[in-house]
Structure 1
Amino acid sequence: MSRFENLIAAIDGSGPTEQMVHTLLSLPAFAQCHVTLLHAVPSQTSAEEMRAAWQKGQELLAQTLQTFPPRPGLKISTQLVEGDPKVVVLQVAESLPNPLIVMGSRGRNRIMAILQNSVSQYVFQLASCPMLLVKDDAYVKYPSHVMVALNNSPAAQAAFATALDLISGIQGAQIFLASVQLDADNPGRDEALDRAIDILKNRQIGHQVLTAVGDPGTEIVRLAAESNADLLVMGSPDRRPTIARSIPDLDRLLGRSISDYVRVHIGCPVLMVRSVQDSD
């Protein structure tokens, strides 16, 4: 079964999100996926305002749908749902097998994301499926050069496996393996990096190894920029337990989260991947 069986695009009128969906559909890995164009209409204070918001949502989905010309095998549908956008996206994702969420992100820092009720930040912390974030100022490119942030964690291993599936069938695709060491004096042997290199060699996939020493979040962002990566794939175990959905996770959001730092500062689209161990 395909890893990318259902693609859920949260449509809010932002161009980069739609561009990313079009780009993904041009990849062999997404040839058989079903696309759901999703727009949530928040509850309004009056019936008249609700009708206006509903009509605006219908028009937005219709305009977006028209940008996808008919083609053999393309399965695409629209969903217009009343409710809190961040809750709606999660509910739809949980109802579909093997989903991938694609959302826009304004790249707010952590405290601003809390105060301004960021939809992408909320979904990012609660989603158990992969989530592809596209910042408003991101330049969406065909992902023939994909960077993977690699370490020994289960989430990073899941990210590497996802990247392999993502570039499957792309001629000349390359994977950049980014390995960041915290301590220059005790580098040690990176077994995860060695395993990844062996797999890429066996599959005859082009690759480069990018190494750095320092803060992982800062170095991952720097390596992605310097390598001109089209897409970053990284594991993200930072997931809020379901029981705490209604509670602001201030300790985590105000603390040092590598994936949250990358989410805010990365220049290219970033695909955050969970592992089975990250499920609650």
Structure 2
Amino acid sequence: MKRVVIATDGSQVSLDAACLLAHLPHNSKLDITVVSVIQGEQSYHRHASDEWVRGFVAKKTAEAEESFETILKMFEGSNATLRHEIRDGHVGQAIVRIAEELDSDLIVIGATGHSELSRILLGSTSDYVATHAHCSVLLVRPTGLIGANRAIRVAVAFDSTQPSRKCLTEFSEVPWGIGTDVMMVTALARFFGIMGEIAPSADAVANAESQVLQASQSVAKVAPKASAHVVQDENFGEGLVRFAEKHKCDIMFIGETKRTALGRSLVGSVSRYILRHAPCSVWVTRQSVAEADTSPHNNDSETTASSR
């Protein structure tokens, strides 16, 4: 995580997203581009006078510059450089486009809200960015972490597929330290048929426990207190969301493979479920097409716990 785009519209939700990133530890210098998108001439020229549009754009530009100054203060004293980019046009498209232009590693964006309804609806911009971005996306929801005197709680959804391993690699780029409560979690399916509930076999449970334990041990250098967990649910996404709710997580990591269909990333059903229903921020790590094509696990990309 070196090149980061922070999307802001001046709202408290977007400022909270920037604040969360500012509070995360990092070893490498961060090159941060704060993006403000103003729907000016392209959006309103047919419906308003030129004078009104110029006034609107000037007002929104001033607000964007004020938001940038607020974000700039959040990173004072950190190993980061920040610059401000103001674009015009479709908000989601502009954010995705500039991330591609800059070859960004991560986009940080605020979700619409924290209520059950707003979680389901997400928001047109955040949903578009999470779906179309070529790189990883951190979708931020407030969890009461900022200003609280407690450890950050992070869950990492893990299985043995390549997107999940890429997720683990990206997670390990952050020096979480002993002060972070890290939980490695994998989900197993329970099925309900004519004969009743069909639970995972003892061998399947033992194998899952072994894999998630190894995963937790593999991140010991950056997360010494990482613990291992296995959950069972009839729905993979719901099982992971319930885990996040039970443990009051602040961030959940999930892996995703960039698809070539329509030239964009198609978020899998489990990823989308978690994005919409998780009570916490969601960090979607995105595997590139090249990585997927050269992976020995590339045939598994559609069945990872984070993209089913």
> What interval of TM-score do these two structures reach, taking the shorter chain for normalisation?
0.7 to 0.9
Kept after mapping to 2: 8 A contact 1:125/1:240: no
**One-letter amino acid of the counterpart of residue 54, structure 2:** R
2:271 corresponds to which letter in structure 1?
A: S
Q: Structure 1 regions of 5+ residues with no counterpart?
A: none
2:288 maps to 276
Give the stretch that moved more between structures: 17-26 or 171-180: 17-26
Contact 1:100/1:130, CA 8 A, preserved across alignment: yes
For 1:132, the equivalent position in structure 2 comes to 138
Say whether 1:63 aligns with 2:66. yes
Amino acid at match of 1:15: Q
1:162 aligns with 2:162: no
- The code of the aligned residue for 2:231 comes to A
Return the alpha-carbon distance in structure 2 between the equivalents of residues 200 and 50 of structure 1: 52
* CA drift at 1:203: 6.2
Structure 1 or 2, whichever has the larger Rg, is 2
Q: Give 3-state SS (helix, strand or coil) of 2:242's partner.
A: helix
Contact 1:139 1:268 in 2 (8 A): no
Residue of 190, 212, 219 corresponding to 1:200: 219
2:111 corresponds to which of 82, 95, 105: 105
Aligned residues: 264
Structure 1 residues 8 and 242, CA, compared in 2 at 3 Å: closer, same or farther? farther
Q: 3-state SS of the aligned residue for 1:165? A: coil
TM, length-normalised to structure 2: 0.74
Tell me the equivalent position of 2:54.
51
Cα distance, 1:98–1:8 mapped onto 2, change above 3 Å? closer
Aligned twin of 2:250 = 230
The DSSP-based 3-state class of the residue aligned with 1:8 is strand
2:230 aligns to what? 211
- Alpha carbons of 1:264 and 1:62: their partners in 2 closer, same or farther (altered >3 Å)? same
How much has 1:242 moved relative to structure 2?
6.0
**3-state SS, counterpart of residue 103 of structure 2:** coil
Q: Which deviates more from structure 2 when the two are superposed, residues 52-61 or residues 198-207?
A: 198-207
1:5 to 2:20 alignment = no
CA displacement at 1:201 relative to structure 2: 4.5
Secondary structure in structure 2 of the residue aligned to 1:28: coil
Q: What is the TM-score normalised by the length of structure 1? A: 0.81
Ranges in structure 2 where 5+ consecutive residues have no aligned partner: 191-198, 294-308
- In 2, are the aligned partners of 1:230 and 1:268 still within 8 Å (CA)? yes
Aligned to 2:297: none
Give me the CA root mean square deviation.
Answer: 3.1
Distance 2:183 2:287 in 1: 21
Q: What residue in structure 2 maps to residue 185 of structure 1?
A: 200
Contact 1:14 1:104 in 2 (8 A): no
After TM superposition, give the deviation of residue 148 of structure 1 in Å. 0.3
Higher mean displacement: 211-220 or 14-23: 14-23
Secondary structure at the aligned position of 1:65 is classed as helix
> 1:260 aligned to 255, 272, 275, which one?
272
Distance 1:210 1:83, change over 3 A: same
Could you report, residue by residue, the CA deviation over 1:23-63 in whole angstroms, capped at 9, with x for unpaired residues? 32233316611221111122222433432332233222222
Maintained 8 Å contact 2:5/2:35: yes
